[in-house]
């Protein structure tokens, strides 16, 4: 982006930054592959999160001290002042932002905190500093109630308006306005979020949410993580990538992360995890989810199948290969509801390469009729047999597989593919029932069942023990 000639002199730029410090605000940026904290991980970037926040819904997840709230405040000021404001033109230039995505001229936006105390402490003074000493009028800056600031914008009679609200006001307080954008800090109620959607509807505006996912698998997870919304941009800022976070603190975080992967997923990486009673506490997407690669034809391949036909009870098939060093590589996943066993057999075969040879397929033993059908009526190849459905033993075997092998690599990994996303969600949310004697009933665990069949089948096969 080239600066207009009127802004290109050093004197003009310095004066602009003094009058509106947002002009000189730079997002932190990192790129490439992490070589220090989580070798092999693609690093995150606050600047990339700014550049990419151009959809109807824009969600920035991150642990504490990642810069997600700074991201929110900077965008809040930019949308209020408008893309043609001189300070925003310079800000866009410094951060390589496509300003055509932000409306021109002043507009009204909301900045929503969990409560008014947080609004006073985290938003109002900080946004006031970004706005600078220019012509503006505050109402209620330090009051633990609703507040607003009106800002004069050069070349316009209308003013930019930022209203500071709190989620605790409830749904009724978020009605009867037409807005350019709404900026929500931390997860609030779904009812308030839905009301904010209505407020930006008239102007085809945008919603922005910055949050640390510390409440488990909530409505945000259900709506924006479990399913892919083409109108939503989601991004995770990782605390280790923030250059302003002290190195000594990063070292302490690394030590704790090794002891408590679930804590690291939520607090460091901004990932959603069950906070209480989680069964697979050692499962971590940063550790167990890897880029896909071609599976050599010499690696033994297996399948696990969980039968299902009714809504909410899908038929699931998972494919896994055995690496020569013993690692299990999960490379394909199929799930579909409300179809016949003939249909599923046809679809599973279509997903496989013509030359793909399956050694063993372990199936849900509760439906021997369908196992017989896959052997005789709709053959899918390989040795199709009952899976071992001793749940406690299977869970223990999967837990062992998630641990590092002798070379430090996990005993099981999963390819980073869209079709495998529902399986990661199941790992994140799988919980014990009260008393921890068995898994809680009614959970979405169909994919996990297939993993149990595969892991237990492979391990017993290695020991020469027949399964099914």
Q: Select 5-267's CATH number: 3.30.70.890, 3.40.50.1820, 1.10.760.10, 3.40.50.300.
A: 3.40.50.300
Distance separating alpha carbons of residues 12 and 8, to the nearest angstrom: 7
Q: Is the pTM value of this prediction over 0.75? A: no
Predicted pLDDT at 407? 86
From residue 57, alpha-carbon distances to 205, 208, 229, 420 in Å are 9, 6, 9, 24
468's tokens: 């099914």
Distance separating alpha carbons of residues 468 and 345, to the nearest angstrom: 20
Residues of the chain with pLDDT under 70: 1-13, 274-276, 435-437, 464-468
Pairing of strands 289-290, 412-415: parallel
Written out in words, the top-level CATH class of the domain with range 287-462 is: alpha beta
What residue ranges do the domains of the chain occupy? 5-267, 287-462
**396-422 as b/e, with b when 16 or more CB fall inside 10 Å?**
ebbbebbeeeeeeebbbbbbeeeebbb
State the distance between the two ends of the chain, measured CA to CA, in whole angstroms: 65
Q: Specify the length of the chain in residues.
A: 468
pLDDT digits 0-9 by tens, 35-47: 888 887 888 999 9
From residue 67, alpha-carbon distances to 33, 122, 234, 305, 408 in Å are 20, 12, 15, 43, 32
Nearby residues of 169 by Cβ (< 8 Å), 6 or more positions away: 146
159's tokens: 């003013």
Distance separating alpha carbons of residues 66 and 71, to the nearest angstrom: 10
Predicted pLDDT at 282? 84
Q: Coil, strand, or helix at residue 334?
A: strand
């Amino acid at each position: 982006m080239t600066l207009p000639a009127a802004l290109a002199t050093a004197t003009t730029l310095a004066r602009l930054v003094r009058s509106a410090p947002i002009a000189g605000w730079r997002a932190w940026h990192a790129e490439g592959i992490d070589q220090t904290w989580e070798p092999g991980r693609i690093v995150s970037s606050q600047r990339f999160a700014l550049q990419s926040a151009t959809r109807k819904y824009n969600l920035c997840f991150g642990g504490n001290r990642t810069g997600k709230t700074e991201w929110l405040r900077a965008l809040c000021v930019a949308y209020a002042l408008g893309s043609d404001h001189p300070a925003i033109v310079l800000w866009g230039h410094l951060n390589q932002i496509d300003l055509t995505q932000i409306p021109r001229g002043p507009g009204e936006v909301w900045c929503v905190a969990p409560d008014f105390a947080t609004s006073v402490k985290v938003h109002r003074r900080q946004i006031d500093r970004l706005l600078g000493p220019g012509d503006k009028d505050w109402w209620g800056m330090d009051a633990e109630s609703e507040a607003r600031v009106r800002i004069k914008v050069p070349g316009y009679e209308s003013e930019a308006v930022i209203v500071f609200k709190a989620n605790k006001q409830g749904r009724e307080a978020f009605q009867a306005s037409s807005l350019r954008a709404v900026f929500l800090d931390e997860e609030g109620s779904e009812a308030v979020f839905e009301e904010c959607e209505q407020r930006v509807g008239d102007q085809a505006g945008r919603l922005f949410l910055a949050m640390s996912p510390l409440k488990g698998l909530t409505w945000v997870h259900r709506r924006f993580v479990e399913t892919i919304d083409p109108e939503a941009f989601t991004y995770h800022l990782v605390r280790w990538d923030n250059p302003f976070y002290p190195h000594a603190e990063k070292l302490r975080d690394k030590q704790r992360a090794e002891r408590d992967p679930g804590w690291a997923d939520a607090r460091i990486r901004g990932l959603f995890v069950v906070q209480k009673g989680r069964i697979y506490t050692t499962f971590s997407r940063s550790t167990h989810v890897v880029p896909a690669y071609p599976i050599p034809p010499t690696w033994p391949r297996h399948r696990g199948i969980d039968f299902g036909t009714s809504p909410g009870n899908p038929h699931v098939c998972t494919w896994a290969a055995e690496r020569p060093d013993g690692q299990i590589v999960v490379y394909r996943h199929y799930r579909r509801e409300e179809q016949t066993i003939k249909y599923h057999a046809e679809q599973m075969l279509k997903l496989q390469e013509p030359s793909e040879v399956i050694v063993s397929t372990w199936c849900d033993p509760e439906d021997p009729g369908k196992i017989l059908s896959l052997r005789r009526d709709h053959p899918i190849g390989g040795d199709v047999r009952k899976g071992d459905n001793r749940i406690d033993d299977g869970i223990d075997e999967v837990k062992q597989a998630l641990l590092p092998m002798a070379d430090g690599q996990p005993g099981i990994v999963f390819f980073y593919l869209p079709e495998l996303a529902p399986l990661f969600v199941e790992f994140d949310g799988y919980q014990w029932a009260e008393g921890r004697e068995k898994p809680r009933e009614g959970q979405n665990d169909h994919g996990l069942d297939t993993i149990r069949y595969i892991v237990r089948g492979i391990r017993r096969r290695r020991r020469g023990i027949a399964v099914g």
